[in-house]
């Protein structure tokens, strides 16, 4: 019945969101509409995860949804090889820190930041 899925985050500044996910976290852009203009929707992929970014204006116009970026309770979890180095890189680029790197159990090291719209992004690595 269903064959694929993605997480769609609504954004107030799609260009800032693209820079965060593509340039800082290493996602690859796989789709954008409209082509050749400031997009309303972009899809990015990292490993087996597809992430959509959609503008709040497009959500209102196309779906009748009043989207409030950063308000729903969710976190996008991104695995890395070195949480401490990734955290330093992301915060140096301006990502707001929520919780600095810490050991969280299950041999994991985690840190929490926010994307440009205030959505939680959790970065995780295995402790070596």
Domains by residue range for the chain, with CATH: 7-126 (3.10.180.10)
pLDDT, average across residues 95-111: 91
**pLDDT level of residue 27 (50, 70, 90 thresholds):** very high
CA distances from 31 to 38, 53, 110 (A): 13, 10, 30
pLDDT, average across residues 24-50: 94
H-run or E-run covering 100? strand 97-105
**pLDDT level of residue 49 (50, 70, 90 thresholds):** very high
Q: What is the pLDDT of residue 60?
A: 86
Q: What is the pLDDT of residue 75?
A: 79
CA end-to-end span of the chain: 41
Whether the per-residue pLDDT at 74 is higher than 80: the answer is no
């Amino acid at each position: 019945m269903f064959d694929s899925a993605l997480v769609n985050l609504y954004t107030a500044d799609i260009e800032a969101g693209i820079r965060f996910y593509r340039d800082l976290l290493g996602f690859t852009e796989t789709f954008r509409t409209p082509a050749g203009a400031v997009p309303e929707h972009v899809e990015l992929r990292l490993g087996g995860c597809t992430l959509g970014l959609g503008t709040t204006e497009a959500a209102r116009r196309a779906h009748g949804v009043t989207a409030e970026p950063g308000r729903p309770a969710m976190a996008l979890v991104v695995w890395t090889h070195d949480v401490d180095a990734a955290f330093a890189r992301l915060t140096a680029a301006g990502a707001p820190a929520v919780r600095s790197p810490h050991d969280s159990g299950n041999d994991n090291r985690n840190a929490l930041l926010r994307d440009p719209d205030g959505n939680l992004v959790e970065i995780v690595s295995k402790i070596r």
